[in-house]
Structure 1
Amino acid sequence: MYLDINGEQFRILKAESQGAWLVSCDAPGPPRFVDQRELDAYPRAPAPEPCTAEQGEAPQTAAEQARMALIQPLLDNGDCVSDPAIRRQLAAEAAQEHGTTSRRVLRLYYQYIATGAVMKHKPRKRRPPEYENYYKRAIQTFYYSAKRPSLRDTYDLMLHQFFTAPDGHLADKRPTWPAFRHYFYDQAYHRRSERTIARDGLTNYQRTARPLTGSAMTWKDHIGAYQMDATTADIYLVSRLDRTKVVGRPYVYLAVDTATQLIAGLYVGYEAGEEAVMACLANAAMDKVEYCRGYGIDIDAADWPSKGLPSEVITDQGRDFLGGRMKELCLRYGVTCEALPPFRPDRKGLVEKMFDLMQGRYKPILRGRGVIEADAQERWAVDYRAQASLDLTQFTQILIHCILYLNGRRVLDSLQMSPEMLEQGVAPTAAGLWQYYAAAGKSALLELNPQEVYYMSLPRKT
């Protein structure tokens, strides 16, 4: 039953001998008590449109179900209508349970007991169909273009193309800029793949915006397929003999196993090219316990378990990876070299990400010691060469510690553990996964003397 009180419609929630508890349908709020004499004086009123939904009707959407779950304890207790203390207590308990505020719980409760609904459904206005056709044509013709006009320019071009008379005057009846902009974002044209392909090119879409349908680790099902790449470290180093002289920025080469994400090979030096590639592969083939001992770092074999020459090298079109020494290595030991298309670093994303993870480990702790910051190219930026204080050996030691962390301490969040792995208690790290594959015989590594690969890294006279 509904009453009209001074032009405002109220709903009778609970009748008592002395009166009744009412709630406003126009502005839902806490119920209030009205005695029987006043009730008899107020005229009856039909249910307003917002209150036509019947209380207790099952919610239709997930959002409505979630909101109903918030206020259900209050609805189950009939004393909440007349007792504010009980109402506030139950609202606080529901808010704590669902991670929200008691104020929101009470607001939803008042809205429901007043209107019978927890959400306000507003009818959407239908746009004129002729404008929608113009919107689509303008977006497809002008906005989805390699010239990359702005959305406002697209709107102006639409007006010029479709709503301009031969004498140059705009038509009186034409779509407005807010309406065009609302249609663009409401239809999610800015998130469609056609936008990236048309405006930025297919290569950029495949590299940065295409859907990811799998994991890079599932590409190979055995250890021994190494992704290789090189970068210049974001740090300046000094000479070991004269620490007042800045030598420059070192090159870092990495070999990362595809199936396990384990960093198997490392080269740090001032020389780049085929010699550096061979030195990285020689490091991948050698015993890491002996290698780390040469830098004063004691480790166990399980901390860095890789040892052996890979059966497959996955890299880009760089000349240092496709030179004569790499071809000689492939012919001598039967190594397969897969050269990926140019400008597609996402095809070897594991090694690219390892560079990012390594620099993310050492740059914060070496800030102020020659590390290059993002403002290096800006005017009045700090000359980071003047801050250099580490030499090549010290920097290599730091990178070894970073690799030990990434191999044995970093948890692989994307790793899908099989029942067999769970049963055997395989650690979800790169080193743990490597040991699992090695124990299962899923290894394509080539056992050889690392000195043979090292000899191929030495300079040659032609």
Structure 2
Amino acid sequence: MNLFVNEILENPGTNEKYRILWVDEGNIIAYLIDINDEKALPFVKKVSEIKEEIVSDQLNKTKNDPFLYLSANEELPEKYLEIRDQAWNVIKDMVNKEPKIFDKKVRSFLTNEAMKLHNVTYPAVRKYLRKYWQRGKMINALLPDYSNSGAKGKERKPGEKKRGRPRKYSSKGINVDDKVKKVFRVALEKYYLTTDENNLTHAYKMMIKEFYADDVYYENGVQKVKIKDEDKLPSINQFKYWYEKEYSISEATIARKGVVKAEKEYRAILNNSLSEVHGPGSRFQIDATVADVYLISKFNSNWIIGRPIIYIVIDVFSRMVAGIHIGLEGPSWLGA
């Protein structure tokens, strides 16, 4: 059983949820944070203790991440992006100093440095860090809580006014209603979710040509599309956003690569040799190879003895070579 950064662990008894912020390479310790506590700070815990609590059902792994919506690449008002970017500019250097940043003394020192550099208060820096850690360790975690104005996680019905940030250099655009979403699905399944492996930009262009073009003509042998009213076209960002919302990575991979190739080359690796060892000397691995030389008798150079077998013993935890043996016994359990 492995633990991964950004996984959510839930206590079924108290409904408390913890996000995994960092796991050391040796799988010994991890840093977590309570994602719902307004005063939460990172705390350290042994990986072995976490695994024991999962096995005993004191903790459960859950995919119910209340902040997953923040990862969507949706068009946002300019003022929200400015607030986000200002906060990110304050903490971006701090959060890269893992795992030192999780230590209280180090964090306090770095916070004071950020206060002087960016002319912000101590509570502000602490608030930015907490939001970043609790909401998924991404820049959009620092967006203002605009979702409080409506039902978080529920899809809004579009009205007549265009939602989202106004387009800067192109046409006005449209809202994505059920009719537009149906067109998106057809275009994605026809031009993107196929073994042709076209990119999303190609799928978008083919969708515009098939569903929104007023005329398709050729000029000097080049196919061109005529659009009378570009204000009635969905943007490529809307197209990409609804693709990411409707289809999971696994669904898209299977559709584009095929079941056999997806299972063989793209399925998740859920375990490795490090997950079952606790320290140096816990387990060793032996590898044998036939040397690319021939040995001859010291009594008669015409007598060829054969090619030697080189055995190498490696400590799984440290990856260090623990021993080397060269002999004539063929690669086998007996020889090892």
TM-score (structure 2 length as normaliser): 0.36
Normalized per residue, the structure richer in strand is 2
| TM-score, structure 1 normalization | 0.28
Higher percent of residues as helix: 1
Which has the higher Rg, Structure 1 or Structure 2?
Answer: 1
